[in-house]
Amino acid sequence: MNAPVLECQSLTRWYGQVIGVSTVDCQVGPGVTGLLGLNGAGKSTLFKLMAGQLRPSLGRVLLLGHDLSHHRGLFRWIGFCPEPDALYESMTGREMLVYLLRLQGFDAPESERRAQLALDRTHLADAADRPVAGYSKGMRQKIKLAQALAHDPKVLFLDEPFNGMDPVSRYESMELIRALGREGKTVMVSSHILHEVEEMTSIILLIQNGQILAEGNIREIRDLVERHPHQVRIECEDARRLAVDLLPMEEVLGVKVEAPLRLVVETDRPRRFFGRLPHALLSSGVKVRGFQTLDDDLKSLFEYLVEDAG
Amino acid sequence: MKESGHDRHFGPVSQPPGLVPFGQVYRLVFAASVKDLIRRRRLVFIGLVCILPLLVTAMWRAFGGEHLSAEMFFSNLVSLLYLQLLIYIVALAFGVPTVHDEVEGRTITYLFTRPVSRVAVYAGRLTAVQLLAGSLLALSLVVCFGLMVIGNPGVLDLEFIRVYVNHVLIILFSTIVLTGLFSILGVAFQRPLVWGIVYAFGWEGVVAKVPGRLQTWTLDFHIRNLIMGEEDVQKGLLDTFRHLLTDQAEVSAWVSFAVLTVALVVFVYVGGVLFSRKEYVIN
């Protein structure tokens, strides 16, 4: 990892009796880092602490060696895209960006110029002069992203930035985030969707119950997932016949027929299994109505990590 | 200056950047808040409430002009309607949301992640709501004046104009003081409107009418004292009745003016300090 731009030291936050984040120690360097966790794991609290929105109960956040809670001027280096769907509804997209840029200390012409750049980068230029109250969910996410990057910060915190985006917007925004990482920005993106983060970065922090459960390369995590058997539910027209045809596959550990039209396959090599499955289905001739992976999600990943730690 | 505190090249920086100048933040927040308030439905609703004295004035012109002089009518209008009701409604409607609008709308996040003094943000928003609250009441008073004098030039003597200007200034000053107070509630409480109503119509409404020294602990007492000290408002029907029943505390108008001025300074200071230290957990 590169030299840390951002460092959390024993970062802890309580909400009364409830622990939001507990003794988090981590260092984040330039590039894109994914913060992964289930809903309620403490991602947003950690982001708010890192972005100076909340004060830590214990510990501290250092930005380029400076304690964030002692220097409000450090907000010049931070761009924060909050998770809540909150915008200045009566302003146009451009007015909102210019207003927030001017609060970053830029003069009016420079704010206009930077606002236009941010609108172009987030593909919002066409809607720039419409009130944000009329924006679609995806456009609202984009204008939040635009205000976070418009002042060219060193560090960006993007809290669930793809919520509500259509596939095209999602792709464009992912491209933008990757580009920001390549430009040398320190970008932290939170998500509860593993593959979403995987498309932008290989460096991740996993958070659960307010604690960092694992950090490092996503491939290591992926390998860990693959050491555990996966279950795939298949809806088809003849479950018994398909079970007989799938059992001989070397990737298949077992098959359970749940109902005449439904079976569950257990595999220890899911990627290989999915690669060979179409051929197996064609050979079998059984019509398939749908697939559902039962455990290839973040919840299972956390369960495996906890098991392995145990 | 195109930008300040930003270094273009990435890398450790020995000195952290400073805050954006206070005056710049104040002006920006003030301008944005005025625009925002003008676009809100709240302005229309409170504007409708401010029509009430105009209706009363129109009725006076139609039916009571011969029995009640313009000077006495205006004193009663101010005493009964503006000071009893309107300044509280307007100050509550504009003061409570000073900061609460940003908190409820969760846009406070954007302000709190900027390199700005929170006191400057508070001062900018407070001045904007005070300007709007004062303007609305001033407009209502100007229209009242117009209704009283248009086609009725006989009422326009120096004494009436002196009384009118004095009352207008006192109403505006009182509104600014009360807005400052209710802004604090918006900063400090989750349900500021409830606390504001309890204060306005509980403490102020009841304690200000209790005989003896206790009433001097209300803003209402000092606001009324400004008018009474200046004008023979005892002629007003309600005050005549009240004066007969209660033992008024004796405080000069200048003392009341000083009390209200100090209260305003304290309210602004306390609100600013509270806002700069308050932590809002936005979900």
- CB atoms inside a 10 Å sphere around CB B258: 12
Residues A209 and A233 in one domain: no
- Residue-wise pLDDT for A102-130, tens only, equals 999 999 999 999 999 999 999 999 999 99
The residue that leads in pLDDT, B267 or B205, is B267
Contact A80 B113 (CB under 8 A): yes
Residues A210 and A285 in one domain: no
How does the average pLDDT of chain A come out, rounded? Answer: 88
Rounded distance between C-alpha atoms, residue B274 and residue B262, angstroms: 18
CATH number, domain containing residue A174: 3.40.50.300
Tell me which chain B residue has its CA closest to the CA of residue A186.
B10
With respect to residue A303, please indicate whether it lies within any of the assigned structural domains.
Answer: no
- Residue-wise pLDDT for B42-100, tens only, equals 899 999 999 999 999 999 888 876 777 888 889 889 988 999 899 999 999 999 999 98
CATH number, domain containing residue A244: 3.30.70.100
- Residue-wise pLDDT for A43-67, tens only, equals 889 999 999 989 999 999 999 999 9
From chain B, the residues in CB contact with A53 under 8 A are 109, 112-113, 282
ipTM: 0.82
With respect to residue A301, please indicate whether it lies within any of the assigned structural domains.
Answer: no
Rounded distance between C-alpha atoms, residue A50 and residue A56, angstroms: 9
Position B238 confidence tier, pLDDT thresholds 50, 70, 90: low
**For chain A, how many structural domains are there in total?**
2
Contact A76 B2 (CB under 8 A): no
Residues A98 and A45 in one domain: yes
With respect to residue A306, please indicate whether it lies within any of the assigned structural domains.
Answer: no
**A contact set with B (CB within 8 A):** 3, 15, 30, 44, 51-55, 64-66, 71-78, 80, 82, 84, 86-91, 99-100, 102-107, 110, 147, 151-152, 154, 184
Contact A90 B2 (CB under 8 A): no
Rounded distance between C-alpha atoms, residue B249 and residue B216, angstroms: 7
With respect to residue A132, please indicate whether it lies within any of the assigned structural domains.
Answer: yes
With respect to residue A300, please indicate whether it lies within any of the assigned structural domains.
Answer: no
- Residue-wise pLDDT for A177-197, tens only, equals 999 999 999 999 998 777 788
How does the average pLDDT of chain B come out, rounded? Answer: 85
Tell me which chain A residue has its CA closest to the CA of residue B118.
A72
Residues A143 and A196 in one domain: yes
Contact A105 B115 (CB under 8 A): yes
Residues A215 and A274 in one domain: no
Residues A238 and A276 in one domain: yes
Of the candidates A3, A66, A110, the beta carbon closest to that of B3 is on A110
Residues A123 and A185 in one domain: yes
Report the pLDDT value the prediction gives residue B65, as an integer from 0 to 100. Answer: 66
Of the candidates A71, A100, A154, the beta carbon closest to that of B110 is on A100
Of the candidates A55, A78, A104, the beta carbon closest to that of B279 is on A55
Q: Which of A201, A220, A239 is the last residue of a domain?
A: A220
Tell me which chain A residue has its CA closest to the CA of residue B19.
A73
Report the pLDDT value the prediction gives residue B236, as an integer from 0 to 100. Answer: 47
Rounded distance between C-alpha atoms, residue B65 and residue B57, angstroms: 10
**A contact test, residue of B114, B278, B282 with most A CBs within 10 A:** B114
Contact A147 B110 (CB under 8 A): yes
Residues A127 and A250 in one domain: no
- Residue-wise pLDDT for B170-220, tens only, equals 999 999 999 999 999 999 988 899 999 999 888 888 887 777 778 888 999
Q: How would you write chain B as a 3-class SS string?
A: CCCCCCCCCCCCCCCCCCCCCHHHHHHHHHHHHHHHHHHCHHHHHHHHHCCHHHHHHHHHHHHHCCCCCHHHHHHHHHHHHHHHHHHHHHHHHHHCHHHHHHHHCCCHHHHHCCCCCHHHHHHHHHHHHHHHHHHHHHHHHHHHHHHHHCCCHHHCCHHHHHHHHHHHHHHHHHHHHHHHHHHHHHHHCCCHHHHHHHHHHHHHHHHCCCCCHHHHHCHHHHHHHHHHHHCCHHHCHHHHHHHHHCCCCCCCHHHHHHHHHHHHHHHHHHHHHHHHHCCCCCC
From chain B, the residues in CB contact with A151 under 8 A are 6
The residue that leads in pLDDT, A98 or B200, is A98
Helix (H, G, I), strand (E, B) or coil at A139: helix
With respect to residue A302, please indicate whether it lies within any of the assigned structural domains.
Answer: no
Residues A235 and A197 in one domain: no
Of the candidates B19, B115, B281, the beta carbon closest to that of A54 is on B281
Tell me which chain B residue has its CA closest to the CA of residue A157.
B113
What is the domain range of residue A10? 6-220
Residues A25 and A111 in one domain: yes
Tell me which chain A residue has its CA closest to the CA of residue B40.
A90
Rounded distance between C-alpha atoms, residue B220 and residue B238, angstroms: 15
Residues A247 and A178 in one domain: no
Contact A53 B107 (CB under 8 A): no
Flag whether pLDDT at B273 surpasses 90.
yes
Report the pLDDT value the prediction gives residue A306, as an integer from 0 to 100. Answer: 64
Residues A157 and A283 in one domain: no
Of the candidates A55, A64, A89, the beta carbon closest to that of B12 is on A64
pTM, to two decimals: 0.81
Tell me which chain A residue has its CA closest to the CA of residue B282.
A84
